Structure 1
Amino acid sequence: MSREESEEGGVYVPPVVFALANLTMTISFVVAGLGFAYLLYGIFAGLSGFSGWDAAKQQGMLGIIALAGKAMMIGLGIGSLCAAVIFWFEEVVGYVILISAGVLGLGIPFAFPMLGGEIASKGVANALGVFPLASIAPAIIGGILVVRDIFSKFGRAIQRRGSDADLSQVKLGASAQREQKPLRTSLLGKCWEGSYCRDWVRPHCPIYQRRDACWRQRRGCYCEQEIVSAAANKTQGGMQLEMAPSSQYNYANPSAPGSTAPPKVILNDSQKAERCRNCVIYNDHQSEKYKIVMPLAIVATVVLCALISPLMKQGIQGSFTLIEQTVAKVSFSSSSESTVTLTRPPSTVEWGLVGAFSLMIVSKVLQIVEWCVFVKKI
């Protein structure tokens, strides 16, 4: 994250802090990786003869396992915290940390019996018990980043709904000034009902005369010079206003010698659509569309999540059963029964997970709505 990005986020952190955080993160993850590798080797190979060792050696090995576990636990906790500081403005980091914590805490203990391992000694049991504990700190940090990302999307959506269209990238009519909107005949106004339609052009505009919208006809005053010229010629006293773009948007090659005007370009539908996407009127229309669609999308998604919440809860319960059945089928263990029995979370935790999944779904729906309205400009 650069200085500029941190300033955009409203908090400036000196570069030396980021350098220190990056160094600390690297060291922490290296320490955690060494502890992880040692414990992984132990449960799959090194601790196979633990039961036959004498008491002193067993006790010493349990101490080493505990030390390796602490190294992995502290390393992952500090490393994840530093990663959160460094990549605070990267929305994907929280999800990566959270998923990685889930894989670490659940994947290793479940993969061990699937690969034919048996918890035949206290050493193996202690080593396996470290992984869920080591995943707690990264899971909390990743969860905080995910919640921050979700609420950031909600805040951006509300802020964007309350603001006008961003016209910084508009090519057609970028310098146009807003005027008072006329009385509307529909919830989502047409081009001539917007604040960028000029009073002196409107009566002479073929789009207004048809009571249609310029983005449906793919032509209008901000992209075709003749509409403005015709309106100016019919207006008493003449009006001078640079509304339509320069000739490069409407005409092709220079005219032949002796010609009075360059030939008109015949644009195809995709070129006309691109012209609309770069027009001040259509971008203002998209902003108004978003103000209507965004709350409807939130309400519809929340209602849908509420309706399917019992199914989501059943899915959480069924996932535990599916994991147990998968372990029993693919395990190399000689026993025909599954050697792993998952502890079911209480009902309140399951409903909490349903609520978390619902928030994530709503945030992704808002992201899709923004993409459709402001990026693809559908």
Structure 2
Amino acid sequence: MRLSARRRSQFIGFLATISGIGMKYGIPLTLLSIVYLLFVIFGPHLRSMPKMTPQNLAYLEHSVSVARTLLIASSIAAVLGLIIRFFYEEVLGQGLALLGGLFFFFTPAILGDLTMGAFKTNPIYQSIINTFGMFGLICLLPGVDLIMRDAAMRIWNGINLQKIMERGWGDEQERVKKFRKPKMYAKCWDMAFCRDFVRNVCPAWKKKKPCWRLKSGCYCDEGTVMRALTVEGKDNPHLRGILHSLGLDKARSDGLSGAQKRARCRRCSIYAEHQRQKYRLSSPMMFPAVGLLFLVFYNQISTWIGVVLERADHFMSFLAYQPGTVYSFAHEKNILTILTLVWLGIMILSYALRGLEYLIFEMQV
């Protein structure tokens, strides 16, 4: 059932209100909750727990519990509001995935090194770490989903993209009735644009080369159309005189340079369909191409990731003021390598599809 214009407007207004509330209150409350929980970790509270009275300890546990619940609830509201407001922004998925990955995968190691492992067995500390991980998951899952959505939409929109001007010739209904089964990589005479009365005089059809190869066809060369219009009266002296006066009864040069012919192709509906077919065939190849790229350079990428993790360990040792770190990134090299490869694969695939779209539809390669 389709919504009426009034219902649709009300629904859009409702979504705008929900997203506004989520962003207005969710983001500040999320930031305040994170700041408070970090203050609990790095402040005097956890260190003074053994000396606390039961009342103070219960108050601390209650405050941390409220902050944890508030962080989860406000982060859900904030992420939901951001998704509704910026649903079609590619940077949103990338930002959420990056923030979520940071909190979900790296919070235990980073906070463990900064606190020098002093609170490993502290239940309040562990509950805060778990909450940070849950917050990371709330950001990570929608972020990855949006990135995959963007990649899928880029392929779909590229296939159906209308980047080049369409022109009507008055026979659109006739061409719809005369259905041609589409081919995987059709020539111009296999497309719905081709008309029978033009085909007999079309140079592309006669030479069995598509019009974008010859830079001349029925949608850009008026001579071809004129010959098609007068071919029925070829035995009529009057029409033969018109063809002769226009120079259409013999081969002639149109005087256009190669650049001018290419510019003419870029405005042609047939060439637009050709480019869409090219993108339809090329875009799925990006997936195995990225996989093959990682397969070939896996060892080198793994080495680079290992170097980065070792330097991260040294940096955390510097921040913790001790030569050895409690948590080592290098110990999690295998899982971090896989996660990094997945992240790089998604990012490279997204930008590869964007580059392919630019080459085919903007540069007209």
**Same fold, TM-score > 0.5, yes or no:** yes
How far does the alpha carbon of each residue in 1:168-219 deviate from its partner, in whole angstroms, 9 at most, with x for none?
95244565533869999x9734334433233333343344444333223333
Paired AA for residue 101 in structure 2: G
Paired AA for residue 309 in structure 2: I
The answer to whether the 8 Å contact 1:76/1:134 transfers is: no
Does 1:293 pair with 2:282? Answer: yes
**Aligned match of 1:244:** none
**Aligned match of 2:47:** 50
Evaluate the alpha carbon distance shift between residue 126 and residue 346 of structure 1 in structure 2; reply closer, same or farther with a 3 A threshold. farther
The answer to whether the 8 Å contact 1:35/1:71 transfers is: yes
Alpha-carbon offset, residue 143 of structure 1 = 1.6
Correspondence list, 1:258-277, <5 A: 269-277=258-266
Does 1:212 pair with 2:209? Answer: yes
How far does the alpha carbon of each residue in 1:36-95 deviate from its partner, in whole angstroms, 9 at most, with x for none?
222334444x32893497322566445434433333233213322333344444444333
TM-score normalised by L of structure 1: 0.65
Evaluate the alpha carbon distance shift between residue 42 and residue 174 of structure 1 in structure 2; reply closer, same or farther with a 3 A threshold. farther
Paired AA for residue 139 in structure 1: L
TM-score normalised by L of structure 2: 0.67
> What is the number of residues matched between the two proteins?
338
Does 1:170 pair with 2:165? Answer: yes
The answer to whether the 8 Å contact 2:103/2:133 transfers is: yes
Paired AA for residue 313 in structure 2: V
How far does the alpha carbon of each residue in 1:288-339 deviate from its partner, in whole angstroms, 9 at most, with x for none?
33444345555x348637x829939x84x98478435422246244432223
CA–CA distance in structure 1, aligned partners of residues 321 and 86 of structure 2: 46
The answer to whether the 8 Å contact 1:174/1:280 transfers is: no
Does 1:96 pair with 2:91? Answer: no
Alpha-carbon offset, residue 15 of structure 1 = 0.9
How far does the alpha carbon of each residue in 1:109-162 deviate from its partner, in whole angstroms, 9 at most, with x for none?
555577x6534458998458625523424524542453365257547847986x
Does 1:22 pair with 2:20? Answer: yes
The answer to whether the 8 Å contact 2:201/2:228 transfers is: yes
**Aligned match of 1:40:** 38
CA–CA distance in structure 2, aligned partners of residues 332 and 52 of structure 1: 24
**Aligned match of 1:338:** 325
Alignment RMSD: 5.0
* Aligned partner of residue 196 in structure 2, secondary structure: coil
Does 1:311 pair with 2:306? Answer: no
Correspondence list, 1:59-138, <5 A: 60-106=59-105, 110-112=109-111, 117-120=115-118, 126-127=124-125, 130-137=128-135
CA–CA distance in structure 1, aligned partners of residues 41 and 363 of structure 2: 52
Paired AA for residue 341 in structure 1: S
* Aligned partner of residue 204 in structure 1, secondary structure: coil
Paired AA for residue 211 in structure 1: K
1:202 to 171, 196, 199: 199
CA–CA distance in structure 2, aligned partners of residues 22 and 62 of structure 1: 32
The answer to whether the 8 Å contact 1:109/1:128 transfers is: no
Evaluate the alpha carbon distance shift between residue 20 and residue 290 of structure 1 in structure 2; reply closer, same or farther with a 3 A threshold. closer
CA–CA distance in structure 1, aligned partners of residues 320 and 150 of structure 2: 47
CA–CA distance in structure 1, aligned partners of residues 181 and 51 of structure 2: 91
The answer to whether the 8 Å contact 1:218/1:272 transfers is: yes
Paired AA for residue 94 in structure 1: G
Paired AA for residue 195 in structure 2: R
The answer to whether the 8 Å contact 2:117/2:326 transfers is: no
Evaluate the alpha carbon distance shift between residue 172 and residue 287 of structure 1 in structure 2; reply closer, same or farther with a 3 A threshold. same
The answer to whether the 8 Å contact 1:286/1:377 transfers is: yes
Paired AA for residue 170 in structure 1: M
Q: Percent identity?
A: 20
The answer to whether the 8 Å contact 2:33/2:67 transfers is: yes
**Aligned match of 1:252:** none
Evaluate the alpha carbon distance shift between residue 13 and residue 62 of structure 1 in structure 2; reply closer, same or farther with a 3 A threshold. same
CA–CA distance in structure 2, aligned partners of residues 119 and 71 of structure 1: 26
Evaluate the alpha carbon distance shift between residue 267 and residue 156 of structure 1 in structure 2; reply closer, same or farther with a 3 A threshold. same
Gaps of 5+ in 2: 240-252
Paired AA for residue 209 in structure 2: D
* Aligned partner of residue 148 in structure 2, secondary structure: helix
Alpha-carbon offset, residue 354 of structure 1 = 6.6
* Aligned partner of residue 78 in structure 1, secondary structure: helix
